[in-house]
Amino acid sequence: MPGACSGGAQGVEMTEAVKRENELSGLSLVLSAWHNPAARILNVDLLTVLIAILLPWSTTGVVIAAALWVIALAPTLELDKFLRSLRRPVAVLPIAMFAVAMVGTLWSDAPWGERLYAVSPTLKLLVLPLLFYHFERSPRGLWVFIAFVASCMLLMAASWLVALDPNLSLKLYFSRGPFYPANGILVKNYIDQSQEFVLCAVALVYPVMTLLRMKRIWLAALLAAIAAGFLLNMMFVVISRTALVTMPIILAVFALLHLRLRTAMLVLCAAAIFAALVWNVSPQLRATVWKFVADYQQSQMLGNISGTYSRLEFWQKSLRFFADAPVIGHGTGSTRGLFEKAAAGQLGIHAEITGNPHNQTLNAAVQWGVIGIGLLYAMWLVHLLLFRGDTLAAWIGLLVVVQNVFTSLFNSHLFDFHEGWMYVLGVGVAGGMTLRAKRHAQKFNYSPP
């Protein structure tokens, strides 16, 4: 009897322990952050998920969520570990980019308001070291990517609806008019939307191939259908020229890295056949491609302002500005003033003024010279090298960096708000996951695939 009583008491204690554990799940765990370290970590994870959900939809929402994220993260920092994590090149170089932008204000001729405004695009790079640190310790990085894809799926559904009825658009300026696509944009603009859809479509290729190798056909088919939905939206509703140029490059990178040579050749041939088929049935795709040539011809013959010819003009002038101050550049925020001086007395497209050369390298070169270019390329390189390996996190991180590098040939995408945050969120979360996997591999003395 005593033994039975003892066993019964132990059973009651175990039951109570399970109840207490269950009580700390769900909402109660979130609300227990004041005294529960695990809850504080979870709250930071959930705020990161919120940023991923808001990114395709809202600029203001992302800023507010990011501020809350930093506030929530601060009490969870272990100072010694955090400071050690900042010594790594993947963290040092984003900080250095911000530092150069700050120091560059000292030799700029621009008004102080413009100098400080030009620093702000580099401010988000300071979030990268924080994301590396947090997701090296948190196991929930995949939640962020799932949330981003789910949010983009909702945006894709909305895009199809707006394509059927343009009056549903919340951004009528971008969904109507001669210089913008006619349909398919609910919020923001077609460049941002295309960047998101390309990223999601190509990122899903990795899990699809992995699931096929595991013979999980139905789940692979579901993800393939989602990726096809993004592609079809871009082909038949709206796509940016930047995305159109860079998507084949990104697909080729995946084929070379993750497929055997014979399989890669078959996939690339299939992609070429698919592209030819879509070309024949998609007026939107043909119009987007033709716009490259039409813009250039109209600008050259008629002097009309167009995206293609304007970029060529911006690049030529930016190269001259760089040649005038090749080492340290003209200073932070100096770009617009330089274009204003160059436009004096000019007519037509030669009189255009901009604060953005629409090329990330030239954007850094004009303001900070060779120093800025060196830091930019060094950051891209160390982030690329971070994502060596055959894991989903490594593929997503590599994809985000490659996309940013190639689209930055035509835009200053690292400094643009939307694409810059895509880079920070994607590289930061995937980088933390990759660093976590490497740390676990070293702990158990084996090499990750």
pLDDT 10s digits, 15-39: 444 444 444 455 555 555 556 778 8
The counts of H helices and E strands in the chain are 21, 0
Burial group, residue 259, by CB count within 10 angstroms (0-12, 13-18, 19+): middle
Q: What is the DSSP letter of 33?
A: T
With contact defined as beta carbons under 8 Å apart, do 331 and 115 qualify? yes
With contact defined as beta carbons under 8 Å apart, do 371 and 408 qualify? no
pLDDT < 50: residue spans in the chain: 1-24, 174-182
Provide the residue count of the chain.
449
Report the pLDDT value the prediction gives residue 246, as an integer from 0 to 100.
79
Of 35, 33, 72, give the one whose Cα is nearest residue 50: 72
Residue 25: helix, strand or coil by DSSP? Answer: coil
Q: Between vectors from CA 213 to CA 208 and to CA 219, what angle results, nearest 5°?
A: 45
Q: Give the pair of three-digit tokens for residue 229.
A: 């939905």
- Cβ partners under 8 Å of residue 311, min gap 6: 358, 359, 410
* Per-domain boundaries in the chain: 15-76, 92-137+305-449, 142-297
Report the pLDDT value the prediction gives residue 239, as an integer from 0 to 100.
74
Of 192, 268, 200, give the one whose Cα is nearest residue 232: 200
- Cβ partners under 8 Å of residue 241, min gap 6: 288, 289, 291, 292, 307, 410
Report the pLDDT value the prediction gives residue 65, as an integer from 0 to 100.
95
One-letter identity of residue 264: A
Instruction: Note the pLDDT tens digit of each residue in 157-202.
Output: 988 888 887 777 776 554 444 444 446 777 877 888 888 999 999 8
